[in-house]
Amino acid sequence: MAAIDTLSRRRFLAAAGALGLGALAAPNWRSALAAPSCHSALAAPNWRSALAAPKQRAALAAPVDTTARSRLILLGTAGGPTPKALRAAPAQAVVVDDAVYIVDCGNGVARQMALAGLALGAIREVFLTHHHSDHNADYGNLLLLAWAADLRRPVGTWGPPPLVRMTRRFLQLNAEDIRIRIADEGRPPLAPLIRPHELRRGGVVMRDERVKVTAALVDHPPMAPAFAYRFDCPDRSIVFSGDTRPSPALVELARGADMLVHEVMYLPALERLIASEAQAGRLRQHLLDSHTTTEQVGRLATEAGVKTLVLSHFVPGGDASLTDEVWRAAVAPYFAGRLVIGRDLMEL
């Protein structure tokens, strides 16, 4: 264990994310090393060799810059509403200094923050790209659990309508728990801490002393409106596509960005994905009409001139045969910049 102790926590989290070892990001990660999910990766005689396996080299080739003011953490990288064993539901965190900005709130986002070592009380703003359940299922739960932990300052939330109504109804759903915790534990009322803002068009939507956030309307039929977001941080720019088919507005939003986090779909595996669906034909058409293929995402990133393309929201996200090498080979012919195959808890 002495060798592991010499790693900084941030570099170790990056390695764990590259391996998909969520358990290693837990606050007590030494005990987590014994977890069954970690056995296979740590069974190698030399765990450094395991970390340097071909599919991890891209993630480890550029060590985390511990002097940077901004951090990007991929909390969940699966696509689709059903839980996956291999990847968590969609969510990302941008961290600037001590402030956390969340983009999308898939199922389990609060636990993923805990695994990443992020304090729930550090959340400043929450952004939803659209209202498919894999992106908003834990919107309310994240804020409720943060309040139950150490959230004591207001949080702005941003997304398409009906965000205000959703927030109000979530508070109604949990009114009994909230009431008892206020009376029994002396917590402040939760409602005043959640400040929802409904977005209907693109443009600058939020600016504070750390970041400027710009939204663009993207194409994700039949869901409308749906948004992509650009974070201009003190040291770099990070763009999140949300769910979208190739969108000219997204190209313009991402123009010259340091990093584009984009959804991706692997067409050759599509038939396996929908084989068990009763409405296979309709699902196939939705995926083709509303998402971005490996070739399309590479071409879009090239057109936008981004420096780094990070693949996330993988469709299929639960197919173990789709290794990092498969995804890389499908995108690399169309994008010559730095290409990162996203993993849960990966830090960039």
pLDDT of residue 192 exceeding 90: yes
| Inside any domain, residue 13 | yes
Q: Is 104 a catalytic residue?
A: no
| Inside any domain, residue 303 | yes
pLDDT digits (tens, 9 = 90+) for 275-308: 767 777 888 888 889 999 999 999 999 999 999 9
d(CA 41, CA 38): 6
Same domain, 112 and 176: yes
User: What average pLDDT does range 19-35 have in this prediction?
Assistant: 43
Same domain, 112 and 241: yes
- The tally of domains found in the chain comes to 2
Same domain, 147 and 12: no
Same domain, 187 and 126: yes
User: What average pLDDT does range 220-246 have in this prediction?
Assistant: 97
pLDDT of residue 187 exceeding 60: yes
Contact 79/263 with Cβ under 8 angstroms? yes
| Inside any domain, residue 8 | yes
| Inside any domain, residue 289 | yes
pLDDT band for position 10 (cuts 50, 70, 90): low
Q: How far apart are the first and last CA of the chain?
A: 25
| Inside any domain, residue 256 | yes
Same domain, 319 and 221: yes
Same domain, 13 and 73: no
Q: What is the CATH number of the domain that holds 242?
A: 3.60.15.10
Same domain, 333 and 241: yes
Contact 141/171 with Cβ under 8 angstroms? no
Same domain, 14 and 132: no
User: What average pLDDT does range 227-238 have in this prediction?
Assistant: 98
Beta bridge partners of 207: 212
* Residue (of 253, 257, 156) closest to 208 by Cα position: 156
Averaged confidence pLDDT in the chain = 86
Choose the weakest-confidence range: 4-8, 103-107, 173-177, 263-267: 4-8
CA dihedral 202, 205, 211, 212 (to 10 degrees): 50
The helix (H) or strand (E) run that includes residue 179 is helix 175-185
Sign of the C-alpha dihedral, residues 251, 254, 259, 265?
Answer: negative
pTM: 0.83
pLDDT band for position 39 (cuts 50, 70, 90): very low
Which position has the higher pLDDT, 37 or 345? 345
Q: Which domain holds residue 11?
A: 1-36
Same domain, 192 and 97: yes
- State the CB neighbour count (10 A cutoff) for residue 321: 8
User: What average pLDDT does range 70-80 have in this prediction?
Assistant: 97
Supply the pLDDT for residue 64.
59
pLDDT digits (tens, 9 = 90+) for 330-341: 999 999 999 999
Full DSSP string of 22-67: GGGGSTTHHHHTTSHHHHHHHTSSSHHHHHTSHHHHHHHHS---TT
- 5, 98, 134, 208: which is the annotated catalytic residue? 134
| Inside any domain, residue 128 | yes
